[in-house]
Amino acid sequence: MNSSDDTSGFAELGLRKELLGALATLGYEEPTPIQRETIPPLLEGRDLVGQAATGTGKTAAFALPILQRIPDRGGKAEPIALILVPTRELAVQVSEAIYKYGRDLGARVVPIYGGQPIVRQLQALSQGVHVVVATPGRAMDHIARGTLPLGNIQMVVLDEADEMLDMGFAEDIEEILKSTPDSRQTVMFSATLPPRINGIAKRHLRDPLKIQIGLGDTKPGKAPLVRQTAYVVQRSHKPAALGRILDIEAPTAAIIFCRTRTEVDQLTETMNGRGYRAESLHGGLTQESRDRVMGRLRAGTTELLVATDVAARGLDIDQLTHVVNYDVPSAPESYVHRIGRVGRAGREGTAITLAEPREQRLLGNIERLTKQKISIEKVPTVADLRARQIELTLETLREALGSDDLENYHGVVDALAADFDIRNVALAAIKLAHAATGAIIDEKEIPDASQRMDRDKARPDKGRPDKGRPERGAMRDSGRHDSGDVGRVYVGAGRKDGVNPGDLVGAIANETNLSGRDIGPIKVSEHFAIVGVPSGAVEDVIAALKRTTIKGKKVTVRRYTE
């Protein structure tokens, strides 16, 4: 595919021929709505704030205008663009995409992030690059070393800006922007637009164009086909309910979102025990382990990916058929962002949410934002499961009956027919086939909580804060409200050392990939601070903080006990 017809939609946007050729080779035929709306103003040099979920094509929306500025070959490359992203996974993905788009231009791009030897990054930067894709913390390291030249930067992009702020990178982002030329073009993309995003836009962007692309705003005729359902179950029954639902759904590949690292590990173990091939993805994994997990998922040897939001940020997996919210996301925009990973390019997808009775208002908030109804269904019964397993066995047998090697088994049938009724022989074969499909003996009914949910709707003021918001003074929403799995870390620095809660959130999020939502409560006193984190992450947080500095100093860190 290299004819100009294949990229006529992109040609209309004014892109140079090398980029059109690369897009044709990659099979891109028409720009997505966000690409069509953002590329022309970005080529004109406009600052821009874009709200877009995963799957809308925003990487190409900012990458192509950057590559349009790549100078002709010759001479040492200097950075003309800096792209800031929240996670190393996203840094690698964006870098790979830019390399593919700019291959015919000789574009040089390098990802820099924590967890990779800095010597390798220093070598790549010294050889000359056009585009740098970086996490804020590692970008600050290179700026401090003088190894990331910013004097010729023409464009700065903040990708997943809301997530970077949640991870405590606000101060780093401010410093980085101040270190770049005032003449630069500044672009922000975010799944949500909280007030802090608008604050950065007012301080650092010049008359920015604002563009908002919703989940359903994709190519005409290829809108996301996402079936959205929710099951209302008590927390203690959620693992069993999820297993039952997935047994019925039989996904090709699914991603299950949990709030905490501990929950990810526990649920992964549970699903493996139920016979699924499940893998964990969270901030506690090394980059090498993350790459292995993603490789197995893309190769089809893993069925379920159990992940935290931060660890899964930026993942784009074609094989996904199902997205599961193990808890209802507290922010409706997070729900939109998650389910945007399925139902792409005309394929059907399924979004499943497990809601506790107390989370009914959160479901309502999501419906109001998306203007779509989430169907409340009952957890499948034991009878439903058995019927589904029989269906799967029938499918397996029909497939076998269509094979061309049945003649090889005539001798087995003849030998058995001499001693048994042929119908009983068939039944025995079906029994073995049924067992071979992995059918699970599951005799326990799971209580249906949806009726209780309906009763609660009739009493909306029964001791609950309105609109799903936590009561004043409550712990930030991190999935630890009822489970009590909060550990505490003592940090030997406090107000006297200039430490504030944001410094601690930033240090932990930068080194562990915990989300800002996972960290808290935080108490900062004169000489020390106590930080709440998921109990299963305490040792990881301690080890991470011992490797880094807070306010430029090494501090004492240990598990806090009363």
In the predicted structure, residue 79 carries a pLDDT above the cut 80: yes
Q: State yes or no: pLDDT of 337 exceeds 80.
A: no
CA distance 447 to 439: 22
Predicted confidence band at 64 (pLDDT cuts at 50, 70, 90)?
A: very high
Beta strand 209-213 pairing with 131-134: unpaired
At 61 the pLDDT is 93
CATH number for the domain whose boundaries are 225-380: 3.40.50.300
Is pLDDT above 90 for 548?
Answer: no
Would you say residue 464 has pLDDT above 80?
no
Mean pLDDT of 407-429: 85
Q: What is the pLDDT of residue 151?
A: 93
Percent share of the chain, pLDDT over 70: 84
Work out the number of other CB atoms within 10 angstroms of the CB of residue 360.
23
User: What is the value of pTM for the model shown?
Assistant: 0.50
Rounded mean pLDDT, 32-48:
92
Whether the Cβ atoms of residue 15 and residue 36 lie closer than 8 Å to each other: no
Q: Report whether pLDDT(495) > 80.
A: yes
CATH architecture of residue range(s) 4-213: 3-Layer(aba) Sandwich (3.40)
* Residue ranges of domains in the chain: 4-213, 225-380, 383-436, 475-559
pLDDT higher than 90, residue 92 = no
Whether the domain at 4-213 and the domain at 475-559 fall into the same CATH topology: no
Helix 538-547, helix 501-512: angle, nearest 10: 100
Q: Is the pLDDT of residue 119 over 90?
A: no
Q: What is the pLDDT of residue 62?
A: 95
Exposed, middle or buried, 397 (CB in 10 Å: 0-12/13-18/19+)? middle
Stretch 49-58: mean pLDDT: 76
Considering the segment(s) 475-559 as one domain, its CATH architecture is 2-Layer Sandwich (3.30)
pLDDT surpasses 70 at 113: yes
Q: Give me the count of residues in the chain.
A: 562
Q: Which residue has the higher pLDDT, 5 or 230?
A: 230
